Amino acid sequence: MFKKIRHKTISRIIEDNLDYLVRFAYYRLGNHVEAEDLVYDAVLKFLERDTDNIKPESIRLYLFRIVHNLCQDYSRSNKREFMSIEDYDVEGADDEALDLEDADRINACLDSLPSREADIIRMNVIDGLSFVEISGILSIPQSTAKSRYKSGMEKLRKLFIK
Amino acid sequence: MEDYKEIKEMLKPRRDIKASEELRNKVDSALERKGRKQAIREWTFGGIGLSAVAAILIFVLIPSGMSATEVLAEAIKALGETEYIEMTVDIRTRPVENFGYIGINEDFVAHNIYIADSDSLLKWRIDKGERVATGNGSDIYVWLPSLKLGMHLSDVDNERVLGYMSTLLTPGKVLETELYNCTSGDGAEYMVNKKGSEIILTVHAAPQGNFENPYLLNTSISESENIRRYVIDADTKRLKSATVSVISRNREITVLDISVINYGRRKDDICRLADGIRYVETENQLVGLTGLSAEESALIVLNAFANWDSSILDKVMPREISDIAYKEKFSGSRLISIGRSFTSGTGRTIFIPYTLELRNGSIHRHNIALQETYSGGWIVTGGL
C-alpha cells in the first residue's frame, strides 16, 4: 500500500516535470528529438535507482541532475551541427525552426560568458530553477551559484544593456 | 540580490517547449512497468501485513452534493482574499524541538501562528515559546530564546524548516495541498460531508517513507498514518478548524488541533526579530567529512568530543551552534560503543547508535543523525 502511494507520488512528480525537463534539454542540445530521447533515458535511469530513499521533494532535483549530467555527456561526445531551415522538410517544420531560432538567440547571448556562469544563468532564468536547486544539481554551495550568477549578469549588462 | 530585469527579459524564451505526447506515452509505460514490478515485490514479501493496513484504510464517500475538489476550490478562493490570519494550534510535541516533530506520547504545546497575505507569498510567524520562527518569502529566521541563539536561512523552502507545519502557514495552502492530492491522487483517501452549516473534509493518508526500521514512525505527520479533518464554513468557505490524528496500534490519537482561527486586518510587524539573539548565517554550507562512510564519519565525530577537536567538529556542525548547544555537555566525553547505521522514514538521514560516557561519568545513549551534502561530505543534523 505504502509503496503504491510512493509510486503514484513519483509518477505524478515525473509527469508534472516532463515539460520542464524537455525544455532544459532542448536549450542545451538544440534538437527536439534528441532532447526527448535524453529525457526518456533520464527517467529510465531514475527509475532504475532505489527510489525508496529519495524524499518526494528531492525527486525533481534528482531528475534535473540526471538530465544535466546526460546533457554534459552528450555535449562532450557530440558537437552540435547547425541545421538550415531547408533541412526541416517535415510536418511541424515551421515550429521546429522557430524553436531553434529562439534557442540560438538565447545561446548566442550566453556564449559570451564562461560556461560556469552561463550554466547558472540558463538554469535560473530559462529553466526557472531556484538557487537551492541549482546548488544541488551542480553540487556547489548556494553562495557560489549566486556569485557566478551575479558575475555573469553583470557581464551581460555591460555587453547588451547600454 | 539585484533583479536584472532587462537581461532576464532579453533571455526569456519566446517559444514554449513542451514534451510531446509520444514521450508522455513512453514515460507512462515505463512508470507502469516499474509499478508492476513493485506490486509483485509487495505481494511476495509484504502481502499479509499490507492487507491488514489496507483494511483500516477503507473509506466510504458520503454524497454531499459537492466533490472534494469543488469544496476546496471554493475555500481557496475565499481565503485568497484574506489579509491577516491568527490561529492557535495545539500540537503534541516538545517546546524546543523542531517544528516538524510530533510525539504521540507528548503533551500538547500551543503554537501561535500569525500570517499576512495568505494567498501567495506570505509573511508568517510561529511561536511555541521555546522556539520561534518567522519568514517573509525569501528569508527565514529561527531562534531559541533560552539559548539566545538563532539561524538565518535564505532560499530555503518553508517546508524544509517547518515540516508539516509549513502547510499551516496559510489555511489556503493546507487546502491547496489537499486539492492537489485530490486531483492527482497520491493514494490518500478522501471523504466530504455536510453537517448543518459546515462542510467537513476528511483525508486519510498512509505514512510516507520506508519503515523497515520504525525509528521515525509517528515522529512527524507525513511519517505516520494520519487522518486530517477540516471544518469549513459552508457559506463563507473559510476554514473554521482542523485536527490531525495519528493511527497507532489501531488507536486514533489527536496530535494537532487548530482550535482558533481569526481572520482580520494586518496588525504589527509579524516578521520582527527578537532582540538579544545571535543569528548564525547558514549561507555557507558545511564542508562535511568526505571520503568516508557514514559510520566512519560518526566514529570520527564522536571521538572528537574528547578534546573538542574544532578542526573536525567545525566541518560537521556550525561552530556557533556546537559551542553554545553541545560543547559544555559533550567535551571530555569518551566513546564507549558505536552500532550499525540505519535509515527510517522519508528522510535521507542516516542514524548511527552510540554510547558515550560523559565527563561527569553519566552514560549517554542516542542515535547520531548524519546527512550527506550534495558535495559528498557527511554533516551532523541531530541525535546528540
Low-confidence ranges of chain A (pLDDT < 50): 1-2, 80-91
- The whole-angstrom separation of Cα B345 and Cα A95 is 46
- Whether the CB of A13 is below 8 Å from some CB of chain B: the reply is no
DSSP B327: H
* Cβ distance of A27 and B17 shorter than 8 Å: yes
- Whether the CB of A82 is below 8 Å from some CB of chain B: the reply is no
- How many other CB atoms sit within 10 Å of the CB of residue B287? 15
CATH of B284-382, picked from 3.40.50, 3.10.450, 1.10.10, 1.10.3470, is 3.10.450
DSSP B215: G
Chain B residues within an 8 Å CB radius of A155: none
Cell of B134: 518567522
Phi, then psi, of B374 in degrees rounded to 5: -65, -25
Chain B residues within an 8 Å CB radius of A67: none
Write the DSSP assignment of B147-201 as a string of letters: GTEEEEEES--HHHHHGGGGGGS-HHHHHHHHHHHHHHT-S-EEEEEEETTEEEE
Could you say which of B24, B54, B374 has the minimum Cβ distance to residue A135? Answer: B374
Could you say which of B7, B18, B23 has the minimum Cβ distance to residue A157? Answer: B7
pLDDT at position B261 is 87
- How many other CB atoms sit within 10 Å of the CB of residue B285? 17
At a CB cut-off of 8 Å and minimum separation 6, what does B224 contact?
B102, B207, B217, B218, B246, B247, B248, B255
- Alpha carbon A73 to chain centroid distance? 13
Question: How many Cβ pairs closer than 8 A exist between chain A and B?
Answer: 163
pLDDT at position B65 is 47
Cell of B60: 466510504
- Whether the CB of A50 is below 8 Å from some CB of chain B: the reply is no
Low-confidence ranges of chain B (pLDDT < 70): 1-2, 34-83, 117-121, 155, 170-177, 179-187, 265-268, 282-285, 346-347, 374
Q: How far is A76 from chain B (nearest CA, A)?
A: 22
The answer to whether the beta carbons of residues B110 and B128 sit under 8 Å apart is yes
Residues in chain A: 162
Question: In the beta sheet, which residues pair with residue B338?
Answer: B354
The answer to whether the beta carbons of residues A7 and B185 sit under 8 Å apart is no
Mean pLDDT of chain B: 78
Cell of B207: 505514512
Question: In the beta sheet, which residues pair with residue B91?
Answer: B109, B256
Could you say which of A7, A132, A141 has the minimum Cβ distance to residue B156? Answer: A132
What residues 29-48 of chain A have any CB closer than 8 A to a CB of chain B? 32, 35-36, 39-40, 43-44, 47
pTM exceeds 0.80, yes or no? no
Chain A residues within an 8 Å CB radius of B374: 135-136, 139-140
Could you say which of A102, A131, A149 has the minimum Cβ distance to residue B13? Answer: A102
* Cβ distance of A6 and B208 shorter than 8 Å: yes
- The whole-angstrom separation of Cα A25 and Cα A38 is 7
Cell of B305: 568530543
* Cβ distance of B347 and A55 shorter than 8 Å: yes
Chain B residues within an 8 Å CB radius of A153: 2, 4, 7
Q: How far is A71 from chain B (nearest CA, A)?
A: 17
- The whole-angstrom separation of Cα B331 and Cα B47 is 49
Q: How far is B207 from chain A (nearest CA, A)?
A: 7
Strand pairing of B198-205 and B189-195? antiparallel
Instruction: Give the dihedral of Cα atoms B25, B29, B32, B34; nearest 10 deg.
Output: -130
| Domains of chain A (ranges, CATH numbers) | 2-81 (no CATH), 114-162 (1.10.10.10)
* Cβ distance of B23 and A150 shorter than 8 Å: no
- The whole-angstrom separation of Cα B195 and Cα B234 is 9
Name which of A125, A114, A96 is nearest B10 in CA terms: A125
Chain A residues within an 8 Å CB radius of B220: none
* Cβ distance of B24 and A15 shorter than 8 Å: yes
Mean pLDDT of chain A: 79
- The whole-angstrom separation of Cα B341 and Cα B299 is 11
pLDDT at position B92 is 94
Q: Classify domain B68-278 by CATH number.
A: 2.50.20.10
The answer to whether the beta carbons of residues B95 and B186 sit under 8 Å apart is no
pLDDT at position B74 is 62
Show contacts of B289-294: CB within 8 Å, 24+ apart.
Answer: B289/B315, B289/B316, B289/B377, B289/B378, B289/B379, B290/B375, B290/B376, B290/B377, B290/B378, B292/B378, B293/B341, B294/B341, B294/B350, B294/B352, B294/B370, B294/B372, B294/B378
Which of B17, B183, B290 should be substituted to probe chain A, the one whose Cβ sees the most A Cβ atoms within 10 Å?
B17
pLDDT at position B180 is 66
- Whether the CB of A116 is below 8 Å from some CB of chain B: the reply is no
- Whether the CB of A18 is below 8 Å from some CB of chain B: the reply is yes
pLDDT at position B118 is 47
Q: What is the ipTM of this complex?
A: 0.83
pLDDT at position A50 is 62
Q: For chain B, how are helix, strand and coil distributed in percent, rounded to 5?
A: 30, 30, 40
Q: How do the domains of chain B map onto residue ranges? A: 68-278, 284-382
The answer to whether the beta carbons of residues B102 and B218 sit under 8 Å apart is yes
Q: What is the CA radius of gyration of chain B?
A: 23
Could you say which of B155, B211, B343 has the minimum Cβ distance to residue A53? Answer: B343
- Alpha carbon A160 to chain centroid distance? 24
Could you say which of B17, B34, B187 has the minimum Cβ distance to residue A5? Answer: B187
Please return the burial class of B334, using the count of CB atoms within 10 Å of its CB with bins 0-12, 13-18 and 19+: middle
Could you say which of B12, B27, B154 has the minimum Cβ distance to residue A18? Answer: B27
Cell of B177: 495541498
What Cα–Cα distance (Å) separates residue B198 from each residue in B230, B240, B332? 10, 9, 60
